[in-house]
Copies of this chain bind each other. A is one copy, B any other.
Amino acid sequence: MGRPWYVGYFEGRDWLRNIDYTQEDIKKVLEAAWDLKRKFKSRIPTPYLKGRTLFMLFYNRSLRTRNSFEAGIHQLGGHAHFLSPDDVYTPTLPEDMVPYQTEAISDVARVLSRYGDAIAIRIYGDPAKWIIGRGHRIVEEFAKWATVPVLNMEDDLYHPFQALADIMTALEVMPKIRGKKFVVSYAYSGGLKPLAVPQSVALIAAMFGADVVIAHPPGFELMDDIIKKVKELADQYGGSLTITNNMEEAFEGAHFVYPKAWSPKKFFPPFNSTVDKEGAKAYQSKFKNWIVTMDLLEKAGKPYYMHCGPADRGQEVTDEVLDKYEKSLYFEEAENRLHVQKAVMAMVMGSKYEEYE
């Protein structure tokens, strides 16, 4: 049993944002993911990370991310630690230290680097104090101090592994994304949600040359620098970017629609002087008509339906779409989380020159 080419291919590198990598790099990840997916289905052993440890720090709840990372590293022969902030002294930025409750991220990152092989973090919303960008700063602080790879399991700006799973899923049903209409749309939810998913999905769709359409009500604008980057990538890879405030128009003739809730950034620092959760919720509640129904999908010409999960049933989307729409990719996207994450772990945590049994 030989070691595949991708083990250790990006040895030692962090994975904070997909835009830190090139389109070529991402294609390598997908190639590795398909190899691992095939082996998983055939129950071919893949012990490429035997004895390796992944530390998973979850400041927020998770079903897909936690279970796909934990099962994934086990399938690669390694082991994940599930660390909730309550079990450890909460790792914290210098300005937020509380004696006897917190520990400096610089210390936590350096200590864990001595024991294992990668650190993965999820942080957005309340644990990042709803100051937009602070979650990402915390992830970057870990990366600054850790001497092992740091993996971003979703912060308040980026959710790179979701986007990797999404592009993998899209390519499985349509081998060329370039020139296809790919809609990243707002959909209503009463809950408060970060910008990470729509931003990361728009970026990766642009990186694969899609005609990206971003649709949302006024006030739900994504971050300026992200939009700028989406535009740049679209130009570079032969796609385009359109922004609209009309959901139905956006869906018309689309190949893929990705309708998903996020919260309007203008109610939160640094775009607002305070964290105004109630204001955000009240504003969101004006757009309950941004819901995905069978009718809407049929009128649009039956595009593939995508969502990172968990979808808020009855708000973002009807039960009927989730449970019966034949072009829903909802569970395929969830599954591909496993495969892309195993690919990246094998690439950054693995070693090119190591023997394994």
Binding site for B on A (CB under 8 A): 43, 45-46, 50-51, 53, 55, 58, 61-64, 66-68, 70-72, 74-75, 78-79, 81-84, 86-89, 97, 99-100, 103-104, 106-108, 110-112, 114-116, 189-191, 309-313, 315, 322-323, 331, 334-335, 338, 351, 354, 357
Contacts and interface: CB of A to CB of B under 8 A. Distances in A.
A187 to B, nearest CB: 13
A335 B114 contact: yes
Given A45-B50, A81-B70, A99-B315, A61 B87 contact: yes
Given A45-B50, A108-B63, A81 B89 contact: no
A110 B331 contact: yes
A305 to B, nearest CB: 14
23 contacts: A43-B51, A45-B50, A53-B70, A61-B88, A63-B88, A63-B89, A63-B108, A63-B111, A66-B87, A67-B111, A67-B115, A70-B79, A70-B81, A71-B115, A84-B87, A89-B310, A97-B313, A99-B190, A104-B313, A107-B309, A107-B311, A114-B335, A115-B338
A62 B81 contact: no
Contacts of A312: 99-100
Contacts of A79: 70-71, 74, 79
Contact of A331 (B45, B70, B114, B357): B114
Nearest to A336: B114
Copies in the complex: 3
Residue of A61, A114, A190 contacting most chain B CB atoms (<10 Å): A114
Nearest to A85: B61
Given A74-B79, A115-B338, 5 more contacts: A66-B88, A67-B111, A97-B313, A107-B309, A114-B334
Nearest to A64: B111
Nearest to A47: B51
A326 B312 CA distance: 53
B191 A99 contact: yes
A75 B53 CA distance: 8
B67 A112 contact: yes
A115 B65 CA distance: 11
Contacts of A67: 55, 81, 83, 111-112, 115-116
Nearest to A75: B51
A62 B115 CA distance: 14
B335 A115 contact: yes
Contacts of A116: 67, 71
Chain A to chain B: the 9 pairs with minimum beta-carbon distance, closest first: A100-B191, A114-B335, A74-B79, A53-B71, A71-B115, A63-B88, A103-B310, A111-B334, A71-B116
Given A87-B66, A103-B63, A190-B100, A111 B309 contact: yes
Nearest to A356: B45
A332 to B, nearest CB: 9
Contacts of A311: 107
Contacts of A78: 74
